[in-house]
Amino acid sequence: MSDFNVYNDKERAKAYAELDFPGTYYLAYRDLPVLISNYVKGTKAMDFGCGTGRSTRFLKGLGFDVIGIDVAVDMLEKARESDPEGMYLRVGADDFTQFESGSMNLVLSAFTFDNVRTRDEKVKLLGEINRLLSPEGSMINLVSSPEIYLHEWASFSTKDFPENETARSGDEVRIIITETTDKRPVVDVVWSDEDYREVYDISGLKTVAEHRPLADGTEPYQWINETRIAPWVIYVLRSKGRQPIV
């Protein structure tokens, strides 16, 4: 993986560290505890692309022994400030050699693959994550749906970027996080469901669950499109040849 990361600067890291689970982000995490309970056995976890440690602390709160890894130095500094007792490591250029094969019961990737630019990079990273999974291990890949870049949301705006309409898998798209003080657009890479399924297959992974969270209208947020269009896709993945946990 290249060390490209739109969050890898001090101003962005500071703003992102202030985010918890507001608005649209709430939907990204709301259903994870149930999915994890259904598809994960064991407590050894990795937060792949941990950023400022939000997802890492989330997993710790669920009882996991978790390590957070990221390429962004500024993000990791904020993660350590928020969680001095946590384990946060910089791992660049997809070098996972320090991690033992089969050592993880869960690898959570929250929004990380939105910043992985090419098919080959995705395949290589997913192959390494597959190697890390224990015999009953699962990966949960939480990604932005292509639709998130086409609409307005409680926590995001895309109205200034009409070029997103013509973007295809692998193209750059822009979105503004309205919940932060940093109003610079985030540059992501859009990726379709079909193409995600392809890279999973090539990487030796299979999808055992696929979830698109919608708001039900009772949450304490002013929804815009969240009750009818899912902003996120959550894939639960296991190595091929292994049976789903039931």
Per-residue model confidence as pLDDT tens digits over 26-57: 999 999 999 999 999 999 999 999 999 999 99
Look at residue 139 in the predicted model and tell me its pLDDT.
98
Answer yes or no: is 67 within a domain.
yes
Dist. CA 7–CA 146, nearest whole Å: 20
What domain range includes position 80?
Answer: 10-146+192-239
Across-strand partners of 234?
Answer: 142, 211
Look at residue 183 in the predicted model and tell me its pLDDT.
84
Q: Is the pLDDT of residue 18 over 90?
A: no
Answer yes or no: is 58 within a domain.
yes
Per-residue model confidence as pLDDT tens digits over 92-106: 766 788 899 999 999
Per-residue model confidence as pLDDT tens digits over 147-177: 999 999 999 999 999 999 999 999 999 999 9
Answer yes or no: is 91 within a domain.
yes
CB of 115 closer than 8 Å to CB of 8:
no
The CA-atom distances, in angstroms, between 136 and each of 196, 200, 218, 244 are 22, 17, 36, 8
Across-strand partners of 89?
Answer: 69
pTM beyond 0.95, yes or no: no
Answer yes or no: is 181 within a domain.
no
pLDDT band at 4 (very low <50, low <70, confident <90, very high): very low
Answer yes or no: is 17 within a domain.
yes
| CATH number of the domain where residue 221 is located | 3.40.50.150
Mean pLDDT of all residues belonging to the chain: 91
Answer yes or no: is 37 within a domain.
yes
| pLDDT > 70 in the chain, percent | 89
**Tally of domains within the chain:** 1
Look at residue 88 in the predicted model and tell me its pLDDT.
97
Q: Is the pLDDT of residue 245 over 90?
A: no
